[in-house]
Amino acid sequence: MKYLTFFIALICFIHLSNPSYASQISVNERPVKEIIDKIAHQYHINFMYQDGLLTGKTTTFEIDPIAGQNIEQVLGQLFKQSDLSFYHVENSNYIIYTRSKKEVLLLPVKDVSSTVKDTVQPATVTGYVYDHAKKTLAYSSVQLLKAKDTSLVKSSLCDSTGKYTFKNIATGNYLIKVFQMGYKTTLSNIFALTSAGVRLPPVLLPLSSKQLNEVRVVAKKQFIERKIDRTIMNVDNSILASGGSVNELLEIAPGVSIDNEQISMKGKQGVIVMIDDKPVKLSAAEIGTLLQSMPANSIDKIELITNPSSKYDAEGKGGIINIKTKKGSNPGFNGTVTTGFTVGVRPRFTESITLNFKAKKLNIFSNYSFQHNLQTSTFLSDKIITGPENIKYNQHEIAHNRSISNNLRLGADYTVNEHNTIGILGTLNNNTNRSDFTQNTLFKDFNSGQPDSSLSSLNNGRASYNTYGLNINAKHIFGADEHVILFNADYTAYQSSNPNTFINSYFNKDEVLNRPQEKVLNASDIDIRVYTAKLDYTNPISKNAKFEIGIKTAYTHSNSNILFQNGDVQGNLITDLNRSNTFDYKEYINAAYLNYITKLGQLTHLQIGIRGEQTNYKGNSITTGAKFDRIYFQLFPSLFLLRDIGEDQISLSYSRRIGRPGYEDLNPFIDYSSPYFYTQGNPLLQPETTHSIEFSYLFKKDLSMAISYSKTKNYFNYFTSLADSTGATKQTIDNFKDYNTLNLSISYNKRVSSWWNLTANGDFFYERYKTPILDTYIDLKQGAYNLNLLNSIELNPRLSFEIMGLFKSKRIVLTRRIDSRYRVDAGLKYAVLKNKGAVKLGVTDIFYSYINQGVNETAGLYSSFYNKNENRRFSLSFNYKFGSKPTAPKKDLSNQAELDRLK
């Protein structure tokens, strides 16, 4: 409790002691830049402007407390008496520029068309904006003006194809005004709008005689953003994210824990990992290998979604972790190159390049990364076995790993016309791994603790993992209300080969061989193919309401082969048919969903949905002839309710989700790790279902709080127990009765001063397990918490510093107790080459304190574990951006969030 008290007290102190607590901006002969910084933070927006534009500019204009005023009103007052103006680019991005003397200030507003009184049937105005080379110009600001007095009717923003649209416009005479940074403001000819609507000729924007040298983004995205429905880690610009892997990034994500290759979020396991909106259909160990091979510098952001809607697959009781890779969308040819070096005990090298080419209707994007990783780890374990025969022994293992990984993404989007867009995306991940470890097992007399005998096991492993993916997508827009149809088809292939050779030597207490050396070969080969197709339809039935309907089918075929041989060191090996097996698994999932999204009044938003999924799977042990199958259909409702209360928001969400056993969970055969440990699946596993409800409150965009509760039936998980009377242990999986969690999440983000930003996150959860396990019944109740504190400090415009502290309390997962641990990371970033390049220097786990250790305890078995990796690493990286400058901030393509999600 002392950590919790300190954490809350720190937040309250900073919030109450800050002068801006009163939520007001007082301008009293202060630099305009200082006011801009505060407005950016208050409204969580970004400003872009020419380098040096604000230098030396001050203002004495007093701005009243801004609560209740929109951003356009505040900026209009700030710039009213100056030569500066602004316009809205997209989302939370605004551009500041110098007005010409003849320019009339027209502030962009969301929608003022309601001020035009006309009983004539409204119509639609559409058109395109081209640049001087007659290429489409994305993200230009477009204003619809009345012809008689040039008064503003409505503002809009071009999409990525250069198209703009004005809907529900009264008939009459109008003209179009278009402007964008770096181009001359242009007016169209006057045109007459009839009830049939009009499509205008393209507007050509000539280059401005005053070209912009540099564009500066004032309010960069926070490393951790807490939204009303998800938490976002903005990895791209973070100093702390450089040099590591995606798996290491998740270790510092708010509320995320990784133990024994199992990912949990806010205390709940069964998390689905997605890459660019596509679920990864692999086992926990295979996902860990994949994420470890992906460099962090290839990632744009990570989304943590605890309560997904019905539009998402129902799989994953713990929620969704969606990893978004970098994808360029700026016009012309541009890219980013990154190189990095990291060292702990052994070095790691990372190289990556992102290339993008966009011209007219075609956008080609790619990303390639290479990583060469050397790593050393240490594992210690003490085991005490009580029963008919008491046994005591300890294990000491030192492992050396060398992995080489290649990741490639190549895709293209093509806009056929204003109604149709098609795209294709190919992915490749290749990882080869060489592991060598030595494990020494020392048996002791149970009473005296004196050495009795020992075992030395030398392992040599050579593994390869390959993942290939292909996505084809299409988007069609039709009707005056712009109905949208999205189609996606995906194919994913995963192949792995993992042969391991063990040389086991048994010694007596005098360290003399007491039996011939033993050679063991354990080889596993896995081949997975996943085919999916999905169709989504969006029907905007009114201005404030829409239906979303979709269907999906997915087919997964997995074939795994385990070969177990033993014999002497001369190579005379005999296949053990009891431990060798070929396992074939097929799974069919057909799904349909319906979502209804609407506004109840002006302040309340409602989303309600239902999803139905039919699952049919078949397992076949080809070696033994044993077969099993199961067919079931389930419904998964979801509800999301949000209410705006001034600057605050409250929301309530509910969902029902499912956790299905993976193919490796159902495979009953043994995966050998050492003479005294193995893993085994369970063909009798049943799916688990979870009900989750969450209430959240967002206070002035600075403080976010959420309380949630989930109840899981037929919960399944792995646990460690005795295998036989020799003292060997095994890891198996089974269903358990009930697993319930209660969670409180608190997130606080505050700009303490113009140079210091603080972000604090806390997750506090209470878990309860009620179930029979082996020969006992447990009713386990325990609380735990995770704390994360990040300080971002701007030492000067080119030099910034980040330091993060992370603490995870002791936690119990079924029969496994994980001890508390903490770490401190720090990093420096220095901008070079006119802000096109950056040098980053960082260190993770400064005090080498983030050690995974604890105890497994079941009937007759007490087993401690201590696993120490190269957590403390020093990193140095350099990245450089080149090519054409963006005309607007990066924007995700309209179909990116709708790409198909593999099972």
pLDDT tens string 717-740: 888 888 888 888 888 999 988 899
Place of tokens 């081949």: 527
Instruction: List the Cα angle 779/783/785 in 5-degree steps.
Output: 150
pLDDT of 65 higher than 60 = no
Q: Mean pLDDT, to the nearest integer, of 16-37? A: 56
Whole-number pLDDT of residue 37: 75
Q: Please give the Cα distance from 225 to 584 (Å, whole number).
A: 43
CATH T-level fold of 224-337+345-874 = Maltoporin; Chain A (2.40.170)
Q: Tell me which of 654-658, 775-779, 883-887 is least confident.
A: 883-887
- Both structure tokens of 852: 């995974």
Q: Mean pLDDT, to the nearest integer, of 481-509? A: 92
Q: How confident is the model at residue 114 (pLDDT cuts 50, 70, 90)?
A: very low
From residue 895, alpha-carbon distances to 421, 474, 485, 892 in Å are 9, 9, 10, 8
Whole-number pLDDT of residue 106: 37
CB 573 within 8 A of CB 521: yes
392: amino acid identity, one letter: K
- Both structure tokens of 699: 């206070």
- Contact partners, residue 466, CB within 8 Å, separation at least 6: 428, 429, 430, 431, 493, 494, 495, 496
pLDDT of 190 higher than 70 = yes
Strands 84-90 and 93-98: antiparallel
Q: Does the global pTM surpass 0.85?
A: no
pLDDT tens digit sequence for 536-573: 999 988 878 999 999 999 999 999 999 999 988 787 88
Q: Tell me which of 195-209, 467-481, 785-799 is least confident.
A: 195-209
* Positive/negative CA dihedral, 631, 288, 286, 410: positive
Whole-number pLDDT of residue 848: 94
CB 96 within 8 A of CB 85: yes
pLDDT tens digit sequence for 388-397: 889 999 999 9
CB 538 within 8 A of CB 548: yes
Q: Tell me which of 56-70, 211-225, 591-605 is least confident.
A: 211-225
Whole-number pLDDT of residue 8: 46
Whole-number pLDDT of residue 886: 45
Q: Which CATH architecture has domain 109-218?
A: Sandwich (2.60)
Query: 517-547: string of b/e by CB count within 10 Å (b at 16+)?
Result: ebbbbbbbebebbbbbbbbbebebeeeeebe
Q: Please give the Cα distance from 661 to 687 (Å, whole number).
A: 6
The DSSP code for 891 is -
Q: How confident is the model at residue 381 (pLDDT cuts 50, 70, 90)?
A: very high
pLDDT of 69 higher than 70 = no
Whole-number pLDDT of residue 891: 32
Q: Please give the Cα distance from 689 to 714 (Å, whole number).
A: 7
Highest mean pLDDT among 157-161, 348-352, 668-672: 348-352
From residue 366, alpha-carbon distances to 163, 327, 338, 430, 465 in Å are 25, 7, 14, 16, 22
Query: 718-732: string of b/e by CB count within 10 Å (b at 16+)?
Result: bbbbbbeeebbbbbb
Q: For 567, what's the count of Cα atoms within 13 Å in the CB-facing half-sphere?
A: 11
- Contact partners, residue 776, CB within 8 Å, separation at least 6: 859
Q: Please give the Cα distance from 226 to 11 (Å, whole number).
A: 16
pLDDT of 808 higher than 60 = yes
| Other Cβ atoms within 10 Å of 169 Cβ, number | 20
Whole-number pLDDT of residue 147: 87
pLDDT of 761 higher than 60 = yes
Q: Quick one: which of 67, 239, 235 has its CA closest to 701?
A: 67
Q: How confident is the model at residue 210 (pLDDT cuts 50, 70, 90)?
A: low
Whole-number pLDDT of residue 777: 83
Q: Mean pLDDT, to the nearest integer, of 279-292? A: 74
From residue 314, alpha-carbon distances to 88, 322, 430, 611 in Å are 38, 15, 29, 8
Q: Which CATH architecture has domain 20-107?
A: 3-Layer(bab) Sandwich (3.55)
Q: How confident is the model at residue 18 (pLDDT cuts 50, 70, 90)?
A: very low
* pLDDT, greater one: 152 or 268: 152
Q: Mean pLDDT, to the nearest integer, of 227-238? A: 73
> Any idea where the domains of the chain sit in the sequence?
20-107, 109-218, 224-337+345-874
As a whole number, the mean pLDDT across the chain is 82
Q: How confident is the model at residue 99 (pLDDT cuts 50, 70, 90)?
A: low
